[in-house]
Chains A and B, each alone.
Chain A
Amino acid sequence: MIRVENLTKYYDDVCAVDQISFNVRKGEILGLLGPNGAGKTTTLRMLTGFLKPSSGRIQVGDYSIEDQLLEIKKILGYLPESAPLYHDMLVLDYLQYVADLRGMPTPLNLDRIRELGDLCGINEVMHQPIGELSKGYRQRVGLAHAMMNDPEILVLDEPTSGLDPNQIVEIREIIRRIGKAKTVVFSTHILSEAEATCDRVIIIHRGKVVADSSTARLQDTLGGQTQIHVTLADAEAAAVQQELAAVAGVTQLGLIEPVGGAVRLVLTCDPSCDPRAAIYHRIRRTNWTLLEFHQETLKLEDIFRELTKEG
C-alpha cells in the first residue's frame, strides 16, 4: 500500500531522515518507534505530502507523491502531532468544514459526523470551541478529522501523547478497530503501546531504520537472551553466588539490592540452553527458602534501548 524508497530529508545541513526504505501492506498497523528527534515526525510529514523529500521516492497505492499528491491526499487521513486545530471554531463547525473540503455532500456529512462522534466519543463536546477542550478531547477531535472520509490509510503522529491512561487505552482500542480494515501508520515513543497495538514496528534512530520486523519476531531474533530472577531467604549472598555461578548455561550473575534480608539475583543465561531445572535442583539441596523464581525474555523496551544507544 505504501512504498518508501531511500527517503532522505535535509533541514539546511542537518540530516533528519537518512535513506529510509520500508513498505506497508494493506490492512497492516505499523508503528514507527524511535527516541525524540529520531526523524519520526519528518518521515510522516513526507509521507503525507506536507514536506518535500530532499531525495527518495514515496508511492502510496498506485500514486506517486510527486505527481499525484492530490489523489493521495484524498485517500489518506492524517493527524499531526498534538492535533493542531483552529481554537476559535466549534467542534461541529470544524468537522463540517473538513467534510466540505473533503467534498462530502451536506446531508451525508452530518451522518458521518454523528458516526465519528460516537466512535471517538466527542458527541458531548460538539458545540464547544476547540480551544476550550482538554488535550484528550482535542486529540479525539483530531482523530475524527483524520477519519472523516473513511480513509484507506490513516497516519497518526503520536496519537496518545499527553493523554491519561484511560484515554490511551481508548485511543488504542480505536486504532486497533480501524486497523482491521484499513492501513494505519503511527509514531510513538512509548514501547508498550507499539507492543500492544502494532502488527509490525520500525525502529528509527538518527534518521536511519535500525529494525524493521513484526513485533513478535523482533523479540525472537534480537532478544534471544533470557534472564532468571531468583530471590532467596535464609541465605548468605556469597554462598549463593558461589553455588549458582557453577550452573552450566549461566553466563552472568548479578546481585540486586536485598530487601528485608533476602538475597536477590539476576542470572543472565545463554539462549541455547535452559538452566532452570539445574538451578532448582541445586537450591533444593540447601536449606535456603525460595521466595521468587521466574524467567524473562528481553522485552521490546530492552531491544529498543540496545538499538538506540548513543554513540
Chain B
Amino acid sequence: MRHALCIGRKEFNAYFTSPIAYIVIAIFLLVTGWFFFSTFFLLNQASLRNFFSLLPIIFAFVVPAVTMRLFAEEFNIGSYETLLTLPVRFNDVILGKFAAAVAFVAAMLVPTLAYPILVASLGALDWGPVIGGYLGAIFLAAAFAAIGLFASALTRNQIVAFIIGLAICFSLTLVDQVAFFAPQTVSLVFSYLAADVHFQNIAKGIIDTRDVIYFLSVCFIGLYATHLALRARD
C-alpha cells in the first residue's frame, strides 16, 4: 500500500511536469465552458444540469488522454523494467497509477467549481444535484480511468492506447442510445450497461447503491483486465 501511494504521488507529479496536463485541462475547461454557457442564458435556469449532461461524453475523450501514457510510456522507454525490478507488486503499480489518474481528473474539475458559485449568485441554485454531480463525476472518472489504464497496458504506443480507451469509454457512454433498436430485454441490459444512465441518476442528486455498484464494478473489471494484460507480457 505504501508503494502504491509512492507510485501514485510520482505519477501525479509527473502530469504537471509535462505539458500534457496543462493542455488537457485547458481543452477540458474550454469545451465544458463553451457548451455550458452558450445555452445557459437561453434556458434561463439556475442549474448545472446542462454541464453534467455533457460530462460523460467529454470524459470519454479526456480521461483516456489522461491515462494513455501511464503504461504505454513505460513500455516505450523501457522504464517498466526498472520499475518492476524494484521491490513492488503488480497491484501496487496498477493502483498507484489508477489513483494518480483519478486524482488528476479531480484536480481538473476543481476550476469548474466556479460555475456553481457563479450560477448561485444569479439565482436560487439547488446544491443537492451539484454535489451529486461532482460525486458522480468522480465515480465516472474512476471507471473511465480504469478502462484507460487497461488500454494503456495493451500497447507501447500512446496514440493507440488513447484510441482504444476512447472507443471503449465512448461506447460505454452511448450504449443505451442504440438500445431502442433492440428487443426489450436486450435494451434493458444495454441501458444497465450505459455509464451515462448511471451518471445522470447520481447527478440528479439521488445516490442509489445500484449506480455506485455499477461504477465500482467497472473500476474493478478495468483494473483486473489491466492486471491480466500486464501478466500476459511475460
Contacts and interface: CB of A to CB of B under 8 A. Distances in A.
A52 B234 CA distance: 6
For chain B, the bracket of interface size reads 20 to 34
B6 interface: yes
A88 B18 contact: yes
Contact of B78 (A78, A80, A98): A80
B85 A50 contact: yes
B87 A98 contact: no
Contacts of A78: 82, 85
B210 interface: no
Given A50-B81, A80-B78, A86-B77, A97 B6 contact: yes
B86 interface: yes
A48 B78 CA distance: 15
Contact of A101 (B3, B18, B79): B3
Contact of A49 (B2, B79, B85): B85
A103 B86 CA distance: 11
A101 B86 contact: yes
Given A51-B234, A52-B234, A89 B82 contact: no
Nearest to B80: A84
Contact of B14 (A52, A88, A145): A88
B153 interface: no
Interface in B1-46: 2-3, 6-7, 10, 13-14, 17-18
A40 to B, nearest CB: 15
Interface string B56-89: 0000000000000000000001111110111111
Interface of B: 2-3, 6-7, 10, 13-14, 17-18, 77-82, 84-89, 234
11 contacts: A50-B84, A50-B85, A74-B87, A80-B82, A82-B78, A84-B78, A97-B6, A101-B7, A102-B87, A103-B2, A142-B82
Given A84-B79, A100-B6, 19 more contacts: A48-B85, A49-B85, A50-B81, A50-B85, A70-B87, A76-B85, A80-B78, A84-B77, A84-B81, A85-B79, A86-B77, A88-B14, A88-B17, A97-B10, A101-B6, A101-B7, A101-B86, A102-B86, A102-B87
